[in-house]
Amino acid sequence: MFMVQFTSLDPIAEARAQVKLRYSRARPVRAPMKPLGLMAERVGRKAGTAKLPPLKQMQINWRQIVGEQIWRWCQPEKITASKEGRILTLMVLPQAAPMIQHQSEIIRQRVSVAAGGDITSIRILQGQVRRTGPSEFRRRSRTLTPAEKAEVAAHADPIDNPRLRAAIVALGEAVLSATE
């Protein structure tokens, strides 16, 4: 069992080596890899259930979530994350802002149920409301043939008042052109 000891012959070179080691010891040559747990958390946060339901889904179902009265006046704009939870930003018509502010707790509760329970507050922005959900269903009307128009006008001929006659003809044409 023989142990090798290194002895320096030059004390100045030894001191320089000690100083050099002091500033470079235990430093990696390249940056270390980030812990796998942090990277997995980032990926999970982007694709996980914390983002569900997405804002687009909430915008589509906004009418069912908040009800007819509130739906007319506001629209969800974005959901932001904070330390306390998620914050829903609503775009509200300026004339309805006090009413929406008054009912913000009810809106928060309904949205929290729809969004998974962690909407903690509501932020209100005033501006124009853009509808992104399904629009109102509007029936397509068919065009009347000239014979049908003449028949409606013939039935309205006995009416003496021209304004009333025109209104009755317009009503008759609207009824006949409506599809079921």
Higher pLDDT, 167 or 38: 167
- Rounded to an integer, what distance in angstroms lies between the CA atom of residue 42 and that of residue 134? 34
Residue 62 burial by CB count (10 A; 0-12/13-18/19+): exposed, middle or buried?
buried
Which residue is it, tokens 């569900």?
A: 52
pLDDT at 45: 58
Token pair for residue 82?
């904070």
Q: What are phi and psi of 80, to 5 degrees?
A: -115, 150
Q: Is the pLDDT of residue 137 over 60?
A: no
Question: Boundaries of CATH 3.30.300.20 in the chain?
Answer: 49-126
Q: Is the pLDDT of residue 113 over 90?
A: no
In this prediction, residue 49 carries a pLDDT of 46
4 CB contacts (<8 Å, ≥6 apart)? none
Between the CA of residue 166 and those of 67, 142, 159, 174, what are the distances in Å? Answer: 40, 20, 10, 12
If you average pLDDT over residues 93-118, what whole number do you get? 88
| CATH class for the region spanning 49-126 | alpha beta
Using a pLDDT cut of 70, give the percent of the chain over it: 75
pLDDT, average across residues 54-63: 83
pLDDT average, residue stretch 87-93:
92
Q: Which residues fall within 8 angstroms of residue 55, CB to CB, at 6 or more apart? A: 76, 78, 79
pLDDT of residue 150: 94
Cis peptide before 54 (omega within 30 of 0): no
Q: Are 115 and 58 in contact (CB under 8 A)?
A: yes
* pLDDT at res. 17: 82
Written as one letter, the residue type at 63 is R
Q: Which among 47, 46, 102, 44 has a CA at the least distance from the CA of 70?
A: 102
Tell me which of 92 and 52 has the higher pLDDT: 92
